[in-house]
Amino acid sequence: MKPQTPEHDAPADAAERLACAPVICYPPETLPDPGLERLRAARQGWVLEQTVTVPPREAACARVPAGWFFRIVSTEGPQVGDLNLWNAGDLGERFYSGKTRALHGTHLSGGDRLWSSFPHLRPMATITEDTLDWYGFDRFGGAVHDVIGTRCDPYTGRLLSGTDYHHCCHSNLTRALAAETGMRPAEAEPLVHDVLNVFMCTGFSRDTGQYFMKASPVRPGDFLEFFAEIDLLLGLSACPGGDCGAEHSSDTARCYPLLIEIYRPKAAPRGWTPPEPSRYDGSHGL
């Protein structure tokens, strides 16, 4: 955190330096157009092919072929979900929350995309509908569906409280990925990565820049909908924090299940082809 009382005096031109206008690093108009309307049109006549229930304080995996859709749905009560995405054919290609944050901002909504890790850097999924888009940013600077948090995990819990808790999202995702793939938990754990915090309401305090959470505005019937740009294996944890209005990493909060719905469209969206991996030549100047 920045000190309340700096140790160093401001220079003579401090006001001038402070007044420099910010520049948006990645203006959205410079990104490839996700073709949101064409993706949405492909929902006409789609078939609900599969549902997967994620129990409270647990995680589950699901597979979604390229060109299909999936929804994460709130069913019984306010509940936050921690989402991991992998290329189903190459688990080394996974969701890159940091680059997604740089490209689309701290919190995602319709038309934003979930980008994959280097050296691939391509859209893994495009968000096609967000029933919580009305929330915007609240007066605290909070918003839903962030890519600023990481995931609750037993290591930070141990660091801060000195106790072990085994149903953090990191552990839930590790167990679910191991069960889905047949890997040992020790093999699956390094593949678990920073998440999209579905339905979670978070921000940075305006005075100190500290990460905060507050009770999620999600209610039963709300959903976040995605179009799978490549063949996906997804992992979703129903966070032990429940609506994350008070605490996580314990059995204290009231928790609810989450539902994954997987939809098969009648035909691929018009003009859509699966995105290719980055064409950077990989030589790094050597």
Q: Which is nearer to Zn ion, 169 or 196 (CB)?
A: 169
Q: If binding is defined by CB under 5 A, does position 201 make contact with Zn ion?
A: no
Among 85, 169, 195, 218, binds Zn ion (CB under 5 A): 169
d(CA 145, CA 200): 6
d(CA 165, CA 250): 7
Q: Which is nearer to Zn ion, 34 or 56 (CB)?
A: 56
Instruction: List beta partners, residue 48.
Output: 263
d(CA 158, CA 160): 6
| Helices assigned H by DSSP within the chain | 14-18, 36-41, 97-104, 154-161, 169-181, 185-188
Q: If binding is defined by CB under 5 A, does position 148 make contact with Zn ion?
A: no
d(CA 210, CA 203): 8
Give me the least distance between CB of 142 and Zn ion, in Å please: 17
Q: If binding is defined by CB under 5 A, does position 152 make contact with Zn ion?
A: yes
Q: If binding is defined by CB under 5 A, does position 239 make contact with Zn ion?
A: yes
Concatenated DSSP letters of 149-193: -----HHHHHHHHS---S-SHHHHHHHHHHHHH---HHHHGGG--
Give me the least distance between CB of 56 and Zn ion, in Å please: 11
Cβ(128)–Cβ(136) under 8 Å? no
Q: Which is nearer to Zn ion, 66 or 152 (CB)?
A: 152
In terms of Cα–Cα distance, which of 286, 141, 124, 273 is closest to 193? 124
Q: Which is nearer to Zn ion, 169 or 224 (CB)?
A: 169
Give me the least distance between CB of 133 and Zn ion, in Å please: 23
Q: Which stretch binds Zn ion (CB under 5 A): 30-38, 97-105, 222-230, 233-241?
A: 233-241
Q: If binding is defined by CB under 5 A, does position 260 make contact with Zn ion?
A: no
What is the footprint of Zn ion within residues 96-125 (CB under 5 A)? none
**245 residue type, one letter:** G
Q: Which is nearer to Zn ion, 50 or 156 (CB)?
A: 156
Give me the least distance between CB of 151 and Zn ion, in Å please: 6
Give me the least distance between CB of 81 and Zn ion, in Å please: 9
N-terminal to C-terminal alpha carbon distance within the chain:
39
Q: Which is nearer to Zn ion, 64 or 213 (CB)?
A: 213
Q: Which stretch binds Zn ion (CB under 5 A): 9-17, 55-63, 147-155, 183-191?
A: 147-155
Q: Which residues bind Zn ion (CB under 5 A)?
A: 152, 169, 239
